[in-house]
Amino acid sequence: MVGLQGRLADPVFVPVYIPDVNIKGFQSQRLLSETPSTIGYVSPTDLQRTAGTSFLPAFNVIPGVRMEERSPDSYRLSIRGSVIAAPFGVQNVKVYWEDIPLTDASGNTYLNVIDMQAIGSAEILKGPASSMYGAGTGGALLLHPDTSTQVKADLRGGSYNLFGEDVLIRAGGNTFFQSFNRSDGYRVNSASQRNIIQDWGRAHLTNKDQLSYFLSYTDIFYQTPGGLTLAEMEANPKADRPSTATIPGASAQKASIDAQTSYAGLTNRYQFNDHWSNSTTLLASATHFLNPFLTDFEERKELTLGATDRLTYENQHWKTILGAEYQYTRSFIHDWGNAGGIPDTTQSNDRLQAFQFNPYVQLDWSFLRTGLIEAGTSLNTFQYHYLPLYGPHVDAGLQRINFNVQAMPRVLVQYGFIPRKLLVFATVSRGYSPPTISQIFPGTALLYNQLQPEQGWNYEAGIKTFLLQTRLLLSLNVYDFRMQQSIVPRYDSAGHAYYINAGGTAQKGIEASVQWVPISNSHGCWRYLRVFASYAYQDYHFRNYIEGSSNYSGNPITGVPRNNFVSGLDVKTGPGLFVNATYTYTSSIPLNDASSAFAGAYQILQGRIGWNFNILRQFVHWPQRPDGGNLQLFVGVDNALNQVYSLGNDLNAVGGRYYNPAPGRNYYGGISLRL
């Protein structure tokens, strides 16, 4: 309907305070209100309220999740303390783009190949998910691409010569995405640059047959400034690791990462009838990885091939899923000496291959209208092949590292006492995570073939409730995860990480979150108001951990804060003004297994303010778009309290070089267009 002034009148408005969206984790296809809080949902609103350059502030709102950034574009994702075995990159967490695994056969993921502007939402599965998602004690991350926007374009800039842009265009069932980001970095030798081109889409071949695809290419470069001691960080947090009498510093050796990664995935979904369906995925990825380090220059050429299949039967009360996932990763790893950023004498040259096969079955039974029992298990088979191509062990030929077949069961029982308003649940699951290629062969020209997989049982219970006509969402869950053969890092004098098994861990935790939306209107001055908070208590300790003459049993687990609290506020007004604010408190963090060094507690305050213009409604009068389109101008501040802290520590580092200082108070701004 056109108003008297020729503008589009507001459409009929039905208040939606907290959207009860569909959740796909464990193939549940259930509403958020019917899903236990072990699955953390990152909404489009959560993603859009940040600077737009990193997943970090959006993911860290989820209790139990800690994403770190040791230097720009160098991410580490920890779910319930899985950071201890992953000093670099993303390990112990399986990552998917829809049905396509982004994690290779050894368990490593390059999360920085995905731009958050391409993502519409995400699900974080906390706790062992090996019953369906393969090896990994930490859980799984499911990324869902943006499929709602027709056209969007962003331009942003900020402190340290930050500059970024991205464009997304959707035509029919196909979406093209391009992004570019660069920064000089806060510290010396911390510049970064990233280019991403992606294309995804789907086509209905018939009424029953759907084909979807994903293509991606990322070219990323970032410098690595290295760890500082506490005294060095306090004296100059912008400094890189200095040179010593025996080891050159980060700048002198041009320490950096230069990597190109390609992904290609194809998924076919076929609906045989009302009860039977099948989904098959084929995938391939390749990475060329260069890493000049303090004492060596490493090149990796990686190729991953994989396939997944999932056959589903469902009726009114039962759902049965039979599936399997197979992956193969081949890595050629060549190490030279590093002469000021130039490779010189060969130190080692090796081929490593990882094979992973995970068949699984899951059975869901819906009872008494609001009850559910979900039971599943997988069989995890894992194998490494190692072939030296240079050095004294060439004549030894191919070596095989085989791990025993492991069954990974998971059972969930939940009941909705008040349908879509009050849900209680309990779950028992077993997790399993073999060492990755980078842990078996960490770049020190030594093969650590005695490492054993991590494994353990997780027991969990919780409650979730929607109140006040979906204005208020509350969740609370408690868990106890007992892990054996925990993998922990050690560092040699040059800063190289290597790994050992460290007995077991006892990981007890409480996670709570609240989200309140008292205002959600289509008229008036105050259009939207959201207040949220989350809290994670992590009482984590080593068990039976003896190394030489040192007994670390009972010490808090390295790298895990005991308390983490996040709160935030979102405001939108009728004239277009909006405000986003986030406060984070993180308690002290143990930096070594001996608990003789701790990073101090810190508080982070972030804010963003801007203006929305409904440009199509105000200027074009386009009747096909009653929502008006959106042009947004914004400015923001990060670390407004100017805290000196490390967002990603080097655990157990030699010489106390634990700290990678995060930027001080810094600013950003930009313009965003959505059509």
pLDDT tens digit string along 589-637? 999 989 999 999 999 999 999 999 887 555 544 444 444 468 999 999 9
Q: What is the mean pLDDT of residues 443-455?
A: 74
Which pLDDT belongs to residue 616?
A: 59
CA distance 536 to 531: 18
Give the mean pLDDT of the chain. Answer: 89
Which two tokens mark 576? 């277009």
Rounded to 10 degrees, what is the CA torsion of 117, 120, 121, 122? Answer: -60
Which pLDDT belongs to residue 444?
A: 60
pLDDT range class, residue 438, cuts 50, 70, 90: confident
Worst-scoring range by mean pLDDT, 1-5, 238-242, 430-434, 537-541? 1-5
CA distance 366 to 369: 7
Asked if pLDDT for residue 1 goes beyond 50, the answer is no
pLDDT range class, residue 395, cuts 50, 70, 90: confident
- Over the stretch 194-220, which tens digit does the pLDDT of each residue have? 999 999 999 999 999 999 999 999 999
Asked if pLDDT for residue 441 goes beyond 80, the answer is no
Which pLDDT belongs to residue 621?
A: 47
Going by the DSSP 8-state scheme, the letter that residue 654 receives in this structure is G
Worst-scoring range by mean pLDDT, 62-66, 128-132, 352-356, 546-550? 546-550
3-state secondary structure at position 618 = helix
- Name the residue among 452, 492, 431 with its Cα closest to residue 652: 492
Which pLDDT belongs to residue 392?
A: 77
Backbone angles phi, psi at 512, to 5 degrees: -140, 145
Domains annotated on the chain, with CATH: 22-674 (2.40.170.20)
Worst-scoring range by mean pLDDT, 40-49, 191-200, 546-555? 546-555
Which two tokens mark 253? 């050796």
584 in Cβ contact with 561 (< 8 Å): no
- Angle value at C-alpha 268, between 262 and 271, nearest 5 degrees: 160
Number of other CB atoms surrounding residue 623 within 10 Å: 11
Distance (Å) of CA 406 to CA 36, 91, 172, 285, 663: 26, 19, 44, 27, 43
CA distance 657 to 241: 9
Worst-scoring range by mean pLDDT, 3-7, 249-253, 408-412? 3-7
Which pLDDT belongs to residue 434?
A: 84
The structure's pTM equals 0.92
Question: How many Å is the Cα radius of gyration of the chain?
Answer: 25
Going by the DSSP 8-state scheme, the letter that residue 646 receives in this structure is B
Q: Which of 136-145, 302-311, 376-385, 450-459 has the highest mean predicted lDDT (pLDDT)?
A: 302-311
- Name the residue among 244, 252, 200, 194 with its Cα closest to residue 225: 252
Q: Find all residues with CB under 8 Å of 295, minimum gap 6, and list them.
A: 247, 253, 337, 338, 494, 495, 496
CA distance 160 to 278: 49
Q: What is the mean pLDDT of residues 491-504?
A: 74
Which pLDDT belongs to residue 116?
A: 93
482 in Cβ contact with 457 (< 8 Å): yes
Which two tokens mark 219? 């070219």
pLDDT range class, residue 451, cuts 50, 70, 90: confident
- Angle value at C-alpha 369, between 367 and 372, nearest 5 degrees: 45
Q: How far is CA 160 from the centre of its chain?
A: 25
Give the rounded percent of residues in the chain with a pLDDT score beyond 90: 66
CA distance 74 to 60: 16
- Name the residue among 220, 218, 293 with its Cα closest to residue 263: 218
Distance (Å) of CA 250 to CA 85, 275, 340: 24, 59, 9
Which pLDDT belongs to residue 627?
A: 45
3-state secondary structure at position 64 = coil
324 in Cβ contact with 357 (< 8 Å): yes
Asked if pLDDT for residue 363 goes beyond 60, the answer is yes
Quick one: how many helices (H) and strands (E) in the chain?
A: 6, 37
Which pLDDT belongs to residue 620?
A: 47
363 in Cβ contact with 27 (< 8 Å): no
Which pLDDT belongs to residue 275?
A: 96
427 in Cβ contact with 36 (< 8 Å): yes
Which pLDDT belongs to residue 299?
A: 95
- Over the stretch 85-121, which tens digit does the pLDDT of each residue have? 555 567 788 999 999 999 999 888 998 999 999 999 9
Worst-scoring range by mean pLDDT, 83-92, 310-319, 420-429, 458-467? 83-92
57 in Cβ contact with 43 (< 8 Å): no
Strand-pair category, 192-204 with 174-183: antiparallel
CA distance 123 to 98: 10
Worst-scoring range by mean pLDDT, 49-53, 152-156, 664-668? 49-53
Q: What is the mean pLDDT of residues 535-541?
A: 96
Which pLDDT belongs to residue 13?
A: 43
CA distance 197 to 180: 9
pLDDT range class, residue 449, cuts 50, 70, 90: confident
3-state secondary structure at position 250 = coil
- Name the residue among 412, 434, 443 with its Cα closest to residue 425: 412
pLDDT range class, residue 18, cuts 50, 70, 90: confident
Q: Using the Cα atoms of residue 194, residue 57, residue 105 and residue 442 in order, give the sign of their dihedral.
A: positive
Q: End-to-end CA distance of the chain, in Å?
A: 20
Rounded to 10 degrees, what is the CA torsion of 105, 106, 107, 113? Answer: -70
638 in Cβ contact with 207 (< 8 Å): no
Asked if pLDDT for residue 53 goes beyond 80, the answer is yes
Q: Find all residues with CB under 8 Å of 92, minimum gap 6, and list them.
A: 79, 82, 85, 86, 107, 136, 137, 138, 433, 454
Which CB contacts under 8 angstroms, 24+ apart, belong to 309-313?
Answer: 309/278, 309/279, 309/280, 309/281, 310/27, 310/99, 310/278, 310/279, 310/280, 311/276, 311/277, 311/278, 312/27, 312/276, 312/277, 312/278, 312/279, 313/275, 313/276
74 in Cβ contact with 222 (< 8 Å): yes
Compare 500 and 664 and report the one with higher pLDDT: 664
List, as one string, the DSSP characters of 14-26: ---SS---EE-GG
Which pLDDT belongs to residue 83?
A: 64
Write out the H or E segment, with its range, that includes residue 440: helix 437-440
Which pLDDT belongs to residue 85?
A: 57
